Amino acid sequence: PSPKSFQPNGASKEALRCEIEELKQKDLALDQEIAQLLSEGYSLEELDKHISLLHEYNEIKDAGQMLLGKLAVIRGVTTKQLYPEYDLELSD
């Protein structure tokens, strides 16, 4: 096949343009948010550490959810039914 056969059609090109524009807007919003946090006295190192800790928390929470799910299957109940047994809030 020729390289031209791999070119997106007009509709796909327009969709890509829209996606690129959305990503540019998200990038701008994130830059503004970072600038706001810096102006409030946060340092980039502090923000990086906070983000790292959030990732770690989410990984631990995901592992806990997976274990609760497996336990729920073994017991034949829903995960939600296990929350009170382990003093968990539904928002946890």
pLDDT over 70 at 28, yes or no: yes
Mean pLDDT of 27-53: 91
In a domain, 61, yes or no: yes
**pTM confidence score:** 0.54
Residues 58 and 86 in one domain: yes
Handedness of CA 5, 11, 14, 15 (dihedral sign): negative
Q: Name the average pLDDT for the chain.
A: 87
- Considering only residues 91 and 7, tell me which one the structure prediction assigns the higher pLDDT: 91
In a domain, 4, yes or no: no
pLDDT at residue 6, rounded to an integer: 57
Helix ranges, the chain (H):
10-39, 44-75, 79-82
Report residue 36 as tokens. Answer: 């706001």
Residues 54 and 82 in one domain: yes
Residues 72 and 47 in one domain: yes
pLDDT over 80 at 56, yes or no: yes
pLDDT over 60 at 88, yes or no: yes
Q: Which residues have CB under 8 Å from 20's CB, separation 6+? A: none
Residue 77: which domain range?
Answer: 43-91
